Every structure is written in structure tokens, then in C-alpha cells.
Structure 1
Amino acid sequence: MTEHTVTARPRAELATPGSAEEALFWLRDTLGTVARRDPRTRRLGERRYRLELLAEACDRDTFLLITSWLGSEAVPAITSKQAYADDICLWAQVARELGGHDRFHVGAITPGIIETWTKLQKAQNRAPRTTNRRLSVLTALTQYAAWKTKETIASPVTKYDRPKVDPRDETTATPILEVPEFQAVVNAAQTPRQALVPVLIYTLAGRVTECCTAQLHHVKTVGGARKLDLSRKGGKGRVWPLPDRLCDLIDVATTDRERGQLLLDDDDRAMDRHAVDRLLNRLGKEAGVLPGRDLTPHVLRASKLTHMHDAGHPVEEIQEYADHAAIETTLRYIRRRDDSARKAKHAAAAVKVYDHLVDRFI
């Protein structure tokens, strides 16, 4: 154990934790745990705190810098904090393999390493979006280090290192469920608790972490109507009116409970994002939707927003419902739907030209 490693003791075992220690334990719990996959056997290892993995991968000053960065509003969303922590561990591995550094530090990744790494990503057919995201994390850390230390620190990443991302590329885009497909997913559920998961995420166009952190006492009756106090991405509080039929399902799924997490599995265990992923995957396979692909919470979110567009709702209204900070994010869903409709229209028009000519071949 290094001097800056946070132990695996639960917070309850700390008799009188100091402010600094309490803050570090908060970040440890926020970043959560992850199971690393062995690159050779592909087997998952034991689950460990991300903060401990960072402590082992970085030198002391860099570890303190990264905890400052991930604990700040520079990275507001919990899911982003977790993803950034995973990416820094990846860069630490790159620094060891290509730079010979035992511990990761700002400056360990050089422009030459970036050039080699990006070529490896192409050779391994990595998605350009993933490559860009990991490069952006390294740039963001460098920028934060320059601000924090008040020193001139240049990012090793240049615009020439970033692969071009086709904004209209649909091969890696989140697939959409049509209404009958979503209905088949709900119909595949065997218990009210199972049904509540896809119904809640779809109704709210919610992110999985938002729905998993929702508590039963957050469901309140205000002015005769049931509402849900939902904490959205970046800690933004939102009050969500709940439809009557969703309330009926919540009541059945949470019978004899007044407190605790809203989403529980059939064994009374609180559901995290991994449990939700497993359930939706199984429901998707049983419903026969998205052959060859996983049914994820984001598919349900994207489907709801797309269905709102199909119903003719203005883009600004869809943006507000999705709680997108930038309207460009909302437009990605709408453009895909509009592009698909235009392609179908033009393809159908082409048939009129040769329709009578192919009769003799069919």
C-alpha cells in the first residue's frame, strides 16, 4: 500500500474521520468500483475501488492532482468522473508499455507516444469516437494541471492526432426501438419490479445512474399529483410529474416499502447500472429486439426522444425533456430519424424509374 492509497475500510469504521479523509472517502465512493479484465484470458478480476487503482498507477503528486480534478466541478457528472478515472488508468498502462514509466505523471505521455498509440488504435480497428474521447481526457487533465500549478504545460495531443469522426456514421450510433419493440420488451418482464425498470427509464428518458439513485421517498404527492424528485446529470434537481399508470406500477413493485431505492431486483437487492444492464439485455433477447446487439438503458432513452420527435414535438421541448445542455446533442437523434425518412423516400422514388423493367427478372 502506498502512502496515498485509500484503504478499503467502510466509512462507518472511521471513528472520527478528519475533513481531508472524509473528502477522500467521498471521492472513493463516488468513483465506485470496477473489475479489470485480463488482456490474455479475458476473465474479469476482483472488483476494486477506482481510487485505489489510480493511487497505484500514479506518483503521489499526480494522484493528488487527479483527485483534485475528479472531485471538482471541472468534471461535474458522476459517470464522467468514473469514465475519466478508467481512461487515466489506461494512459498509465500506455506510459508503462511505451514510455517505461513505473508510475503515471503529467508529461509521461509524449507526442511520440501519442503517435504510436493512435496508430495502434487504427490497427486494432478501435472506434474513432472512443479514440477521440480518450485523447480528450488526456488533454483535459493537462489543462487542469496547467491551471492548478500555474505552469505552462502543453498537451501532447494535437489536432493531427485526432481521427476524423463522421457525425452521420450510424454503425456506432445508439440503436432505436420502435414502439412495438419497446412494448415487447415490457411484455417480456415476469414481475412488476422487472417491468418498472424499462418503463421508468423510457418514461423519463432517464439516464441509468439517475434512475438507480432515485429513492422511494423521492416519490411525493403534491397538490393531489404524484411527482418524483430526480437528480439529473451534474446534480441538477428536477421535479417530474408521474403518469397514473406509472404510479400504479410503482405501487405494485414497491408494496410494503416506504423507503429505500426505487429500483430493486426480485431478490430485494438495490439495482446498480450493471444490474440494469443485465436485466435489459435479458429482456431484449427474450423480446427478440436488436439481434446481435445489447439492449442498454441509453437505447430506451434515445427511443423515447425519437418517439417524441415522431409525434411532432418541437426540438426545444425535446431538449428540455432530455435535459441536454446543448441543442446539438438533441439534434443528433432527430437528424438520424430525418435522414432515414429521406433515404426511404428517395429510394422509393428510384423504384418508379425501373419498376416495370425488373418484372421479367422476378
Structure 2
Amino acid sequence: MTSLVPRQAGTPAGRTDAEQVTEAWLANRRLSPHTRDAYRRDVAAWLAWCADRRADPLRATFLDVNAYARALESVADPRSGRPLAATTVARKLSGLSSWYDFLVKLRAVDANPVAGADRPYVSRDHSATVGLTPAEVDALLAAAGAERGPAAVRHRAVLALLADLGLRVGEVVGLDVTDVGAERGHRSVRFVGKGGRPRRRALTPAASAALDAYLASGPPRTSGPLFVTGTGARIDRHAVFRLIRRLAEQAGIAGAERLSPHSLRHAFATAAREEGVPLEDVQDAMGHADPRTTRRYDRDRHNLDRDPAYTIAAARARRSSA
């Protein structure tokens, strides 16, 4: 691959031109560390695919991208053994498209080959995440509450933020001690949401108590990561995945091995809508730019008990009896 950007001072020796371009592209975008790593892997996989076929990524066409997409669809997910989901393939192509958009701006390529490619259809009304009922969330919290040992208070605090606030796992593990505070009579937590947007949420009494108990369980800390391991390192998302599945298994929740922290985020949205919280308030709480995304998280949205026809008929009955 020809050089697209000048080698920056301090660039590690041996870093390829493609890697330099990728790092420049990532630095130009507001992304979470997790998303940044995922995009980096996606571009590296595309470049490796091109290299295996002696294809020049700078001369790739939509036909090459189509062939790559079909190859991805035939790859087995190492976690499930099944072919990659359409959402996963679409996400990989989305990252690759953004990378090519950056190359277009650099005038390294004339056009984005992903733009004309045949991407998998992903319904905005569908999510592959396994959800949880309110009773199952209660059982999960009860399992965390029954734990004993030095890590138990940390587990309860992590679960409280996931269940009561519906935060993303990356938002939880990325919290620092200084992010917990108080605003206008509310205990609150500040964090960087998706897209690098600074956000804040109110802590429920249960979440506040769980955090206080966790912070009081160790030596006083005024800075650094909020949730740490026994060695003082920041906990990672994989540890939270394992925690959710272990507690779900202890609680006897069906399909525990398929649950994730995102299952609690879906449960938060569903419960909030079921309790009558307006869609726009749930959307704001979850940090969604598009209300259609919030609706997809609402697992009970197709419940016929919530059909607005009943509300209209009830209003008409009240008018006729007045």
C-alpha cells in the first residue's frame, strides 16, 4: 500500500502505512476505546483479506467488497459456531466504509467502494440481544446481593448501574472515581457516552447505596478508575460479561450463557416503557440519537395490551357517556 500520510514523529518502528492511516482515521473520530479497537480489527481484517488475494485496497471496487461480505457471512462465529450475524457483518462494513470516506478526504482514493456494495439488511425493529424480564432482573440482583467475599460489593455496584440506569458496559467500566458526584440534590454519575458525548445520569437510591458501600470497602480513593480489580487495575468488559452469566446461572435464569450486560440495558428500556415513561425520556436516558433505536430496545412494544386502539375506544366511551 502506498504511503498516504507522512510518518508521524514517535511512530513505532515497523508500523505500516496502512496502520498509520488507520490510526489517523481513528484519531479523527470521537469513539470509545472499545469501538476504536473494533474498527481497528475490522480494517486489519479487510487488509489481510486483500493481501491474501493480492488485491490493492486503493483500487478495490464494490465487487471486491461484495465478495468480502459474502466471505464474512460464511465465517463461523468462534463463540457460537454459527455464521456471523447480519448485524455483525453490517457493522464491520460500516467501519470499513468510514475508513474509505477518510481516504476519499485524503484524496487517496476517488470513491468509497463500500458505498455501492450489497450490505446485509438489518431491521431496525430487531435485536439479537437476549432480554430479561423484570422478575429475572430482580433475581440477578438478588444473586449479587447474596454473594460474599472481597469482590461482592463491587459486583453489586456494577449490577446496580447496569440494571437501574441501563448504562452500556463500556460506560460502566470507563467510570472514574471523580465521575460520581451530586447535582441539584441528586446523586449523579457523569460519563462519556457513545460518540464521545459527555453525559450525566441520576443515581437511584439503590445504585447510590451500592456505590457508597463499594467505595467504603477499600482504602479511600480520590482519583483513578472507579471499578478496580484486586490489583488496582480497571476492570474490563469481559469480566462484566462473565459476572452477568455466572450470576444468571446461580439465579436459575434460562439461557444464562447467552446473556450479556446489554441484556440489562434492554430490560431497562422495556421496564421504563411498561411503567409509562415517555419514549423521548427513555431515549434521552439511553443516549440514543434515533427514537427507532430506543423502540427496538423495548421488548414489549408489540404487546397488544398497549395497543393505542384501546385508549382511543376508552376515550370515545367516556365522551358518549358524558
When normalised by structure 1's length, the TM-score is 0.69
Q: Which residue of 1 aligns with 2:116?
A: 158
3-state SS in 1 of match to 2:300: helix
Percent of residue pairs bearing the same amino acid type: 25
Aligned letter for 1:65?
A: V
Deviations 1:47-68 (A, max 9, x none): xxxxx9xx76xx41x3222111
Note if 1:279 corresponds to 2:243.
Answer: yes
- Structure 1: which 5+ runs fail to align? 1-18, 26-51, 346-362
Distance 1:217 1:118, change over 3 A: closer
Query: Mean Cα displacement is larger for which, 146-155 or 196-205?
Result: 146-155
Deviations 1:103-141 (A, max 9, x none): x7433x444433433333444533222222222222222
RMSD across aligned positions (CA): 3.0
Per the TM alignment, residue 319 of structure 1 is displaced from its structure 2 partner at its CA by: 0.5
1:118 to 63, 69, 94: 69
3-state SS in 2 of match to 1:254: helix
Count matched residues. 285
Distance 1:261 1:311, change over 3 A: same
Per the TM alignment, residue 275 of structure 1 is displaced from its structure 2 partner at its CA by: 1.6
Structure of greater relative contact order (alpha carbons < 8 Å, 6+ residues apart): 2
Distance 1:228 1:123, change over 3 A: closer
3-state SS in 1 of match to 2:258: coil
Q: Which residue of 2 aligns with 1:247?
A: 208
Per the TM alignment, residue 318 of structure 1 is displaced from its structure 2 partner at its CA by: 0.7
Per the TM alignment, residue 237 of structure 1 is displaced from its structure 2 partner at its CA by: 2.1
- Structure 2: which 5+ runs fail to align? 1-7, 76-82, 308-322
Aligned letter for 1:258?
A: R
- Check the 8 A contact 1:176/1:299 in 2, yes or no: yes
Q: Which residue of 1 aligns with 2:279?
A: 315
Note if 1:297 corresponds to 2:261.
Answer: yes
- Structure 1 segment 175-194 matched on structure 2, within 5 A: 175-189=130-144, 190=147, 191-194=152-155
Per the TM alignment, residue 271 of structure 1 is displaced from its structure 2 partner at its CA by: 1.0
Q: Which residue of 2 aligns with 1:258?
A: 221
When normalised by structure 2's length, the TM-score is 0.77
Query: Mean Cα displacement is larger for which, 64-73 or 115-124?
Result: 115-124
Deviations 1:76-120 (A, max 9, x none): 3433222111111111221133x135xx7433x444433433333
Note if 1:146 corresponds to 2:146.
Answer: no
Distance in 2 (alpha carbons) for counterparts of 1:66 and 1:251:
41
Distance in 2 (alpha carbons) for counterparts of 1:236 and 1:142:
24
Distance in 2 (alpha carbons) for counterparts of 1:237 and 1:287:
35
Distance in 2 (alpha carbons) for counterparts of 1:115 and 1:331:
31
1:100 to 54, 73, 94: 54
- Check the 8 A contact 2:130/2:258 in 1, yes or no: no
Distance in 2 (alpha carbons) for counterparts of 1:154 and 1:222:
46
